[in-house]
Amino acid sequence: MKFLILNGPNLNLLGLREPDIYGKQTYADLKSFVESVCAREGIECEVRQSNHEGVLVDWIQAAYGAFDAIVMNPAAYTHTSVAILDALKAVSLPAAEVHLSNIYEREAFRHVSYPGMACIKTVYGKGFAGYEEAICFLKNHLEGKE
């Protein structure tokens, strides 16, 4: 089982960017956390981050035939990217959306997720643990347990 873990814009600045919302842990901490969860669950993973929408779309498209599932934190592209939505729909891989913060306790524009429309699960407001929940959910889904 192999998962692609994608992170969108500004997540590379975790620990610096609005730590009262996103916490003080860094992107390196997040990457290590995700890799350790996947290792524990027997899942190969690639963890990637880009500030560029087209790069994220390219990675999603390239996932077809190479990965079993996608965990994605689209970050700011959550609320704007029909392109990411369409890429997720095109590859038809099981996908889960993750948000570190509770998007429903923030500005109204953050309540709409385009990529989430192609995901079978969305986890929000649980910090790094949201990634663990999404990974375990997708593993169980692929094993026919969810």
Q: What digits encode the pLDDT tens for the residues 4-62?
A: 999 999 999 988 877 777 778 899 999 999 999 999 999 999 999 999 999 999 999 99
Measured CA to CA in angstroms, residue 127 lies from 17, 27, 116 at distances of 14, 12, 17
Q: What digits encode the pLDDT tens for the residues 69-93?
A: 999 999 999 888 999 999 999 999 9
Q: State whether CATH 3.40.50.9100 applies to domain 2-142.
A: yes
The secondary structure of residue 24, as a DSSP letter, is S
Q: What digits encode the pLDDT tens for the residues 5-21?
A: 999 999 999 888 777 77
Angle CA 34–21–104, to nearest 5: 95
Q: Which residues are catalytic?
A: 22, 99
